[in-house]
């Protein structure tokens, strides 16, 4: 099975530069922040750059790429100003993604900060109802979260509750982060099939659109969210390879968000390719 494996890259030199950099390290997909991860204005889109990237990606057999919303985007904040920033950023990012149609936009469902998970779910689905549009060509991904602090999206049930409240839910998918679900209490080391069956029962396996492949510095159910290099944490290389090779992820982008420089990523991609079935 052909695998689409890549890592997180810096977007500062544009799309074609990211595509070439990905190729150089053996990747055929990648992830990038749509703007500074801590927020702020995005560089204007250069239509010549996005067009050359689309050609490059097709010629080099790339899979879908994953745009990641900035960490500061919190759709369910109690603060109206922060929710406004989330709306403005989300809207602008989805408009920009139309220059690279057919790809994925991943975001963290948010932190409810003392309002309760139910209120958080309500506010996040409200935002999705305002930003998704009928003729968009991007699939928006809710990332599975570790449940650190007051994060929502820490269980499959919470993700399902958000999706259920969204009118254009056909535009929505889920990105499974191995470190986050493990820290969230899903035992992908000893019961991968059971976890994915549960995902299927609660959310539906067809919603699974991308994989963040990270080891975890912490233990099952720790609700911590600290990524480790592949094999450098409590999930381990074999279990991570089993997730990557599970048929549920066939044809889906596998993205490393491990603490690495480019050379480290290159080595991890080679390792994963050697373990790919
Ligand atoms: Fe993330
Ligand atoms: Fe992630
Ligand atoms: Zn994380």
Confidence of residue 161 (pLDDT cuts 50, 70, 90): very high
Which residue is it, tokens 């982060």?
A: 177
* pLDDT of res. 133: 98
Listed in sequence order, the residues at least 6 apart from 106 whose beta carbon sits closer than 8 Å to its beta carbon are: 31, 66, 67, 68, 69, 140, 141, 143, 175, 210
Distance 212 CA to ligand 2 centre (A): 5
Neighbours of ion ligand 3 (CB under 5 A): 225
Give me the sign of the Cα torsion angle 86, 92, 254, 268. negative
| Count of Cβ atoms closer than 10 Å to residue 79 Cβ | 10
Check whether 272 has a pLDDT greater than 90: yes
pLDDT the model gives residue 41: 81
Please identify which of the residues 38, 134, 135, 261 carries the catalytic annotation.
Answer: 38
What is the whole-number distance in angstroms between the Cα of residue 257 and the centre of ligand 1? 9
Q: What is the pTM of this model?
A: 0.98
For the segment 83-106, the average pLDDT, to the nearest whole number, is 98
CA of 210 to the centre of ligand 2 (A): 10
Ligand lying nearest the CA atom of residue 259: 3
212 Cα to the center of ligand 1, angstroms: 8
Is a pLDDT exceeding 90 seen at residue 79?
yes
pLDDT at 251 over 80: yes
d(CA 269, CA 153) in angstroms, rounded, equals: 28
Active-site annotation holder among 108, 154, 160, 207: 108
Is 156 in contact with 194 (CB distance < 8 Å)?
Answer: no
Reported confidence tier of residue 186, pLDDT bands at 50, 70, 90: very high
d(C-alpha 179, C-alpha 228), whole Å: 8
Q: Is 8 a catalytic residue?
A: no
- Expressed in angstroms and rounded, the spacing between residue 60 Cα and the centre of ligand 1 is 26
At 255 the three-state DSSP class reads strand
């Amino acid at each position: 099975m052909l695998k689409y494996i890549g890592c997180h890259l810096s977007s500062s030199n544009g799309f074609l530069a990211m595509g070439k950099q990905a190729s150089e390290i053996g990747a055929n997909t990648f992830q990038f922040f749509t703007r500074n991860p801590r927020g702020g204005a995005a560089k204007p889109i250069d239509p010549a750059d996005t067009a050359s990237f689309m050609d490059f990606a097709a010629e080099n057999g790339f899979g879908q790429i994953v745009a990641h919303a900035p960490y500061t985007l919190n759709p369910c904040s109690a603060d109206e100003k922060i929710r406004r920033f989330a709306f403005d950023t989300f809207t602008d990012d989805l408009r920009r993604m139309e220059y690279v149609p057919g790809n994925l936009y991943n975001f963290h469902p948010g932190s409810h900060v003392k309002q309760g998970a139910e209120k958080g779910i309500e506010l996040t689905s409200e935002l999705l109802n305002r930003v998704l549009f009928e003729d968009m060509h991007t699939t928006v991904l809710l990332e599975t979260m570790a449940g650190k602090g007051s994060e929502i999206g820490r269980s499959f049930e919470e993700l399902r509750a958000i999706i259920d409240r969204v009118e254009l839910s056909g535009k929505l998918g889920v990105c499974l982060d191995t470190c986050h679900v493990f820290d969230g209490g899903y035992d992908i080391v000893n019961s991968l099939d059971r976890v994915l069956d549960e995902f299927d029962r609660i959310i539906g396996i067809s919603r699974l659109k991308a994989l963040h492949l990270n080891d975890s510095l912490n233990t099952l159910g720790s609700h911590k969210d600290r990524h480790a290099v592949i094999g450098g944490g409590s999930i381990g290389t074999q279990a991570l390879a089993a997730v990557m090779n599970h048929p549920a992820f066939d044809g889906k982008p596998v993205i490393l968000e491990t603490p690495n420089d480019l050379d480290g990523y290159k080595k991890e991609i080679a390792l994963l390719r050697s373990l790919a079935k």
